[in-house]
Amino acid sequence: MFDRVIWDELNEECGVFGIYNHKEAPQLTYLGLHALQHRGQESAGICASDGEKWYKHRGMGLVSEAFGKGDLEKFKGHIAIGHTRYTTAGSSKIENAQPLFFRYAQGSMAVAHNGNLVNAAVLRKELEAKGSIFQTTSDTEVIAHLIARSERPDLPGAVKDALQHIKGAYALCVMNQNQLVIALDPNGLRPLSLGRLGDAICVASETCAFDIIGAEYWRDVQPGELIIVDENGIVETSHTEKTQRSMCIFEYIYFARPDSDIDGINVHMARKRLGKQLAKEASIDADVIIGVPDSSTSAAIGFAEATGIPYEIGLIKNRYVGRTFIQPSQELRERAVHLKLSAVRKVVEGKRVVMIDDSIVRGTTSNRIVRMLREAGAKEVHVRISSPPVMNPCFYGIDTSSREELIAATKSIEEIRLAIEADSLSFLSVEGMLEAIGREDSAPNRGHCLACFTGQYPTEIDFEEALPALKC
């Protein structure tokens, strides 16, 4: 029997990329998706158009696996959008791979979406009652059906109509054969940036995608903004006036690539500051600092710089672990973490080790890593977390499905310490985290969503509406 490996970490839903007015738009989109691979490894796809003909391909796995030899060579076009997916709403199958492509009364369109809609299940039932037939279990298709049902004859107008009905997180790219429409939810929960490459306009979940194609960062898409790019130029408008920035703070803590900039803040530098702040709040006498690769490396460096304790590479990540493997016994399940991480014995042996990690979700992997370090000879293992305890589920595109699965929701910090078998455990405070990231914003929480820590959601949450999406 094959079981999917479930690592005790947060996973984000996907990455989107789009480009308009470039003769090699599909090929550049392919490169952009490679840069966004960390945001989703289950499927990838590209839709492109030369103004007359559509070119489409989707596949399962990594970008390099989804596109086989020759798949991209047939692509042409000056406009393209791409998507790389991690499943949080809807199952992992080719039907749910994006971009989704549709033919409707006004022509054809392709849709790529990052985020989760909290009212997707309710909207799906309403649309089905009106005769809509769904081909996927993805809430992205809900958006497409709403666009198709709009009475507006133009794509931008239809997209704007559709967005009046949906709630939740969405960084959205919609294209027809001649237009690219870009939209961000009223809270800006997901990152979305604009770039320029000569006369071409690019859009991506992260700025690192611009670097790989040689584009220059232009600006971030603003909450509630609607942008139309076509042969007439760029129209910058909005789809709602009710906006309040609430960027997911885990983009800085964990999701985004260290070389990306979000709202003008470099992710690597923000994580270093998180580590330094953690050292101020929870320093300890030790011999060596290590980070859980890769997202905690920057925070570990910051912690080491602040304390003067040497930083070392104490854990090595195996980058070639498959997405599935055989688990015929409990013993092999318990040792599953060794497929992904290995301890460097000569670094930790006989040492008092401070292990820096970005978060503790369920606690199982933290326990296994602590055990691994002890097996490698560590004398003491002190765990420091560069974020507050995760106590509440996310309804906007992160795979924390229920409060009961989150160890910090049911246990005190001391109980978590005992569960993971650490010598000591400390989390970063909410105030320290906000100060370290350094975003200057007049919105509540400096423009961040802190719902997973505080339980205060930036949108209205009807739990009966939201929970079905998490159970998909």
79-85 and 43-49 strand pairing: antiparallel
> Do 347 and 312 touch, CB atoms closer than 8 A?
yes
208 carries an active-site annotation = no
> Which one from 14, 47, 173, 208 is the annotated catalytic residue?
14
Of 429, 460, 459, 471, nearest to 190 by C-alpha is 459
> Do 110 and 58 touch, CB atoms closer than 8 A?
no
Among the residues of 185-296, which ranges form H helices? 208-213, 250, 267-282
Of 139, 123, 128, 117, nearest to 185 by C-alpha is 117
> Do 110 and 100 touch, CB atoms closer than 8 A?
yes
Fill in the DSSP letter of residue 392: S
Distance CA 358, CA 295 (A): 7
**Given 3-state DSSP classes, what are the helix, strand and coil percentages for the chain, each rounded to the nearest 5?**
35, 25, 40
Distance CA 222, CA 225 (A): 5
Distance CA 22, CA 35 (A): 19
394 is in an annotated binding site: yes
248 is in an annotated binding site: yes
DSSP characters over 70-109: TTTTT---SEEEEEEE--SSS-SSGGG-SSEEEEETTEEE
452 is in an annotated binding site: yes
Distance CA 26, CA 67 (A): 12
Residue type, 180: L
Tokens (6 digits) for 377: 């000879």
43-49 and 265-266 strand pairing: unpaired
Tokens (6 digits) for 290: 């290590």
Distance CA 383, CA 421 (A): 10
449 is in an annotated binding site: yes
Distance CA 103, CA 56 (A): 13
Q: How far apart are the first and last CA of the chain?
A: 22
* Cβ count near 89 (within 10 Å): 24
Tokens (6 digits) for 105: 């009364």
173 is in an annotated binding site: no
Binding site for Mg(2+), by residue number, is 295, 357-358
- Residues taking part in catalysis: 14
Binding site, by residue number, is 248, 295, 357-358, 394, 449, 452
Binding site for [4Fe-4S] cluster, by residue number, is 248, 394, 449, 452
